[in-house]
Structure 1
Amino acid sequence: MPSASTLLLLTFFAVAGGVLAWKGGDYLVRSSERLGGHYGLPPVVQGAVIAAVGSSFPELSSTVIATVQYGAFELGVGAVIGSAVYNILVIPAVSALASEGRLASNRDLVYKEAQFYLLALAVVLLAFTLSVLYNPLPETAALDGTMTWLLAFVPLSLYGLYVFIQYHDSVDHRRTATRQQVAVGKQWAILAGSLVVILVGAELLVRAAVGFGEVFGTSTFLWGLTVVAAGTSIPDTFVSVAAARVGNSSVSLANVFGSNIFALLVALPAGVLAAGAVTVDLGTVVPMMTFLTFGSIAFFAILRTEMMLTTRESYVLLGLYGVFIAWLVAESLGVTAFLR
């Protein structure tokens, strides 16, 4: 049995890491939004790129730290997928409930951001599949393979296309936009300082996840899905809820899509590029990606009805997330064995 002091220390790491990720992400998003307003970017671009990159930096940091420092790329994968499930099911629901039970959408979000997000899911799964197909590990299970830096550029190149599209969408807006007057140097300094705070928080979260895995003899992937995913999703939650409360539903929803797109297309490849090459296991990745895809399709179907997320629909999304947590508990207890 693990000692009480060990569990207490790991719990402290998890809580402290989550708090630092939250505060660092909060300052990062605020400075990013002010800089976005200063440079005349439209609300959707601010939410999908500026706020999304800022609030998703904890996922990027966690993946790189877990891969380079602990050799646990699967922990980073778990953090990204677990955070993506949380983002797509919990954050919109909580944002809708916080804005009197109604969160409005629009066609730009449904037909551009949502569809690009589904494309991101497909490309990430393609990169994992190509790793096993062309770089298999014959000495281990048949579903293991090596993802190289070259394959990591497949999703990264798609994110480059995403930024290119967002840039051209913002050109016309910037010509007529009223730009905010801010202390540019101060905001860039705050942004840099918040990155340092997030890095410290990510290190504590990863250390807690690795420690819990060793203490309880369970997969670090499961701890990445829970401890790290929850800690790194806190900034996204506050950004979307705050935007929804002031009636800016476009930023709220765009932040959800943009955060998941950034995490899938940038955070995961960043871990591969930092290590040079990593081992991937489709037996673990595919079941989680399947649930993420199912949850995403359910969310898009609900969001498309009247372009509005209502109170009842919000509880449906929260119920789906409850199913996800129940499944993870069943996996950790050995009741189910979908994760290889």
Structure 2
Amino acid sequence: MSPGAFLPETPLVNGLVIVVVTGLIWLGSGWLEESAEHLAAYYGLPAVVQGSIVVAVGSSFPELASVVFAALAGVFDMGVGAIVGSAVFNVLVIPALSALVSDDDLETSRAVVYKEAQFYMIAVSALVITFALAVIYVPVDGRALAGQITRPLAAIPLLLYVLYLFIQWQDVSDHDAGTTGEEVSIGFEWARLAAGLVVILVAVEQLVGAVESLGHTFGVPEFLAGITIVAAATSLPDTLVSVRSAKAGKSVTSLGNVLGSNTFDLLVAIPVGVLIVGAVAIDFAVAAPMMGVLTLATVLLFALLRTDLLLTTYESYLLLAAYLLFVGWLVAETLGVTDLIRTA
């Protein structure tokens, strides 16, 4: 996975590749998200389903691609790190930015709080259980707290996502759109969606290769490289669509995208990487602390959304402060000041 067949693999070149492909991910995701949004509106889907399924899956495609390419490259820890890092960014930063750019406090709904947020917390728990089962039943010889996630174990989160889709389908069945939808060119929107997927695939492949090369150069663990650089780049689409929706007064779609995107990442993106390569090793000593941080971040967002079903300016700054604390902890881990993440 080199960042380019005709480019030297130096830190400067890899850094430039990361900057360029991040822009390409943003461009391709913009095409994909706009097409997905127009198609969802055309077919008359409810706002919460539009945000949590159609737009969320579209904006999550960079994370899915990063896991697939990381698994194929034998650096699955980087892919998992990208998913967890992106999830933490999504629940702390994106809602805060969405609330700050909106004209008033970011309004939510009981459907978002009691269905989307609670199901997302179930998704986090299901993935932790899957990792634990891998350590218990398929341990890796010679590595403490390491296990193989096999295809049968990967089916656990996938089946839970099927349940999530069933719940959303029930909402669609009960929804009365009221109109036939927007007048859009269906052929053009589907073509633009496909073009966005192709651009994202190519860009993410180069991104994973460049980050892997930089990690080897500077001795950065794969998980930490994924949770910082790759996660930040792949979170750009989610930021774009949620902030844009909030600015347009579509707060339910904005929050639905955040929670739906994270649910897709945890229950689909990681298992798909396992299904492709057959089995991957997971270091529970690395994954468990990060999943614990993700759980705390999710609980914080849930608590703030539940208070008056609003996200205020003060609460937004609290979320941003929590993310800065998270980044500070990662820096401390990288420098060896703290030792909660036990990397090999």
* Contact residue 81 and residue 292 of structure 1 kept, 8 A: yes
1:100 is displaced (CA, Å) by 3.4
Higher relative helix content = 1
Match of 2:237 among 218, 235, 240: 235
* Contact residue 39 and residue 174 of structure 1 kept, 8 A: no
Match of 2:89 among 78, 86, 89: 86
Deviations 1:30-68 (A, max 9, x none): 101111112111111110000100000000000000111
Q: Which residue of 2 aligns with 1:147?
A: 149
Residues in 2 aligned to 1:135 and 1:62: alpha-carbon distance in whole angstroms: 25
TM-score scaled to structure 1, two decimals? 0.96
Deviations 1:185-218 (A, max 9, x none): 1111111110000011211221121011101012
Greater Cα offset, 256-265 or 203-212: 203-212
Instruction: Write the mapping of 1:134-283 to structure 2, written as runs, cut at 5 A.
Output: 134-141=137-144, 143-174=145-176, 176-283=178-285
TM-score scaled to structure 2, two decimals? 0.95
* Secondary structure of the corresponding residue to residue 44 of structure 2: coil
Letter in 1 for 2:111: D
1:94 is displaced (CA, Å) by 0.4
1:101 is displaced (CA, Å) by 5.2
Q: Which residue of 1 aligns with 2:60?
A: 56
Letter in 1 for 2:50: Q
* Contact residue 13 and residue 207 of structure 1 kept, 8 A: no
1:75 and 2:78 correspond: yes
Residues in 1 aligned to 2:9 and 2:55: alpha-carbon distance in whole angstroms: 38
Letter in 2 for 1:96: A
* Secondary structure of the corresponding residue to residue 281 of structure 2: strand
1:5 is displaced (CA, Å) by 7.9
1:304 and 2:309 correspond: no
Q: Which residue of 1 aligns with 2:37?
A: 33
Residues in 1 aligned to 2:295 and 2:338: alpha-carbon distance in whole angstroms: 20
Residues in 2 aligned to 1:180 and 1:5: alpha-carbon distance in whole angstroms: 48
Aligned length, in residue pairs = 335
Letter in 2 for 1:102: D
Residues in 1 aligned to 2:166 and 2:130: alpha-carbon distance in whole angstroms: 21
* Contact residue 93 and residue 319 of structure 2 kept, 8 A: yes
* Secondary structure of the corresponding residue to residue 336 of structure 1: coil
Residues in 1 aligned to 2:340 and 2:204: alpha-carbon distance in whole angstroms: 28
Letter in 2 for 1:100: D
User: Aligned-residue CA RMSD in angstroms?
Assistant: 1.3
Residues in 1 aligned to 2:92 and 2:148: alpha-carbon distance in whole angstroms: 31
1:275 is displaced (CA, Å) by 0.7
Residues in 2 aligned to 1:12 and 1:106: alpha-carbon distance in whole angstroms: 42
